[in-house]
Amino acid sequence: MKFVDRIQKVDRRIIYVILLLAVVLPLVFRLGFKTYTTTPVENLYRHIDAAAGKDDVAVLMDFTHDPGVLPELYPMDLAILRHCFERNIKVFTISFLPQGAAIIQMALSEVKEDYPNIEANVDYCNFGFKPWSTKLPIMLGMGDDIAEAVETNSEGLKLENLPIMQNMKNYDNIQVVVEISGSSMGQFWVTYARAKFGVDVAVGLTAVMAADVYPYLQSGQFVGSLGGLKGAAEYEQLVDIFAMYGNEFSKNYARDQAWVEAQYEELPELARLYKYNKARIGMDAQAIVHVLIIFFIILGNVGYFLDKRAQKKKFGK
């Protein structure tokens, strides 16, 4: 029974070192595990992509999260912004958390490095931080007039004077509201903005909250969702494929699923190792760690039951 004894007495420091290597090595050496997209993510991609090239339609992103959930949610922020900038889709950003305003600025600065032609207040507008107490008045007010409800952007400039607002009036000009949240799950937008004005709502959430949105998805109250790092990785892949195949991908995506699946199978090495892979690199590490933890759980249980059987034989009980 030496094997059983060894299993039961493995130094926990060895396990911690193995888990550390399982996390660090995939972050350093890209494994490139394939990412398969799911329906809620695909639906959100389609919905946002339908606004491509339209001057009178924008996507509104609500950054309702703080630095504590950046590893899961920040890749979503980047992926959606890149999609919008890649496809010439106007974007509004807002946060009702002080920390969220800094995250908006960080995400915009990072994405804009690859899109030098994208202009603030022309292609996108950052509304910045608005106090939580103003969330409901702003939500309801945007149903009548966005510029009047929000009033100023993050620079203190009047919205009504900005070029991006030329063809924007109210929720009729909002393709979808996407709340990237660590907690609130978009209920405010569904309860007030969608119920009263009919605007479409989607959410990006931490993985532990992803299952909570299924009733909203099934009822149509959410048009799509991103669940944790996996959801961000899926969205990254959709944006990557468009970057490789251009308008042909967007044209066929909505009507020819077989064509899309063929692109997944034949996706060039350049696309799989595409520059924008923050979430997919994290998923490599996450997948390895999950497998290891399952292995350790099974091993521990095997050792436990073998030890119990040995004791039963020894003491005759």
Statement to judge: residues 22 and 150 lie in one domain:
no
Q: Is residue 217 part of a domain?
A: yes
Beta bridge partners of 64: 181
Residue 270, pLDDT score: 40
DSSP string, 225-274: EEEHHHHHHHHHHHHHHHHHHTHHHHHHHTT-HHHHHHHHHT--HHHHT-
What six digits make up the tokens of 3?
Answer: 């094997």
- Domain residue limits at 293: 2-29+280-315
Give the domain CATH number at 268. Answer: 3.40.50
Same domain, 224 and 269: yes
* Structural domain contains residue 34: no
Judged against a pLDDT cut of 50, whether residue 154 lies above it is answered with yes
* 117 and 210, same domain (yes or no): yes
| 11, part of any domain | yes
Which tens digits make up the pLDDT trace of 219-262?
999 999 999 999 998 998 888 776 655 555 555 554 555 665 56
Instruction: Express each pLDDT in 16-32 by its tens digit.
Output: 898 888 888 887 777 77
221 and 286 share one domain: no
What pTM does this model have?
A: 0.82
Q: Please tell me what DSSP assigns to residue 190.
A: I
Nearest to 43 by CA among 226, 205, 214, 194: 226
SS3 track for 56-112: CCEEEEEEECCHHHHHHHHHHHHHHHHHHHHCCCEEEEEECCHHHHHHHHHHHHHHH
Inside any domain, residue 88: yes
For the chain, first and last CA: distance in Å?
Answer: 18
**pLDDT tens column, 271-308:** 444 466 778 777 888 888 888 889 888 888 887 787 77
Regarding whether 187 and 150 lie in a shared domain, the answer is yes
Assigned domain for 137 exists: yes
- 87 shares its domain with 156: yes
Largest CA distance in the chain: 87
Question: Three-state SS for 131?
Answer: coil
Whether residues 25 and 164 fall in one domain: no
Q: How many CA atoms lie within 13 A of 211 on its CB side?
A: 1
Measured CA distances, 298 to 6, 16, 311 (Å): 15, 17, 20
Alpha carbon distance 309, 134 (integer Å): 64
Same-domain check for residues 175 and 80: yes
Query: Considering the domain boundaries, does residue 91 fall inside one?
Result: yes
Using the structure block, give the residue that is written with the tokens 């978009």. 186
Same domain flag for 11 and 133: no
Tokens 């790092």, located at residue: 229
Q: What 8-state DSSP symbol labels residue 120? A: B
Question: For the segment 34-78, what is each residue's pLDDT rounded down to a tens digit?
Answer: 777 889 998 999 899 999 889 999 999 999 998 989 989 999 999
Q: 50 and 70: one domain?
A: yes
> Is 145 a domain residue?
yes
Higher pLDDT, 185 or 231: 231
User: In this structure, is residue 64 part of a structural domain?
Assistant: yes
129 and 78 within one domain: yes
Task: Please tell me whether residues 292 and 157 are part of one structural domain.
Answer: no
Q: Is the pLDDT of residue 209 over 70?
A: yes
Which of 130, 143, 69 has the alpha carbon at shortest distance from 95? 130
Q: Specify the number of domains making up the chain.
A: 2
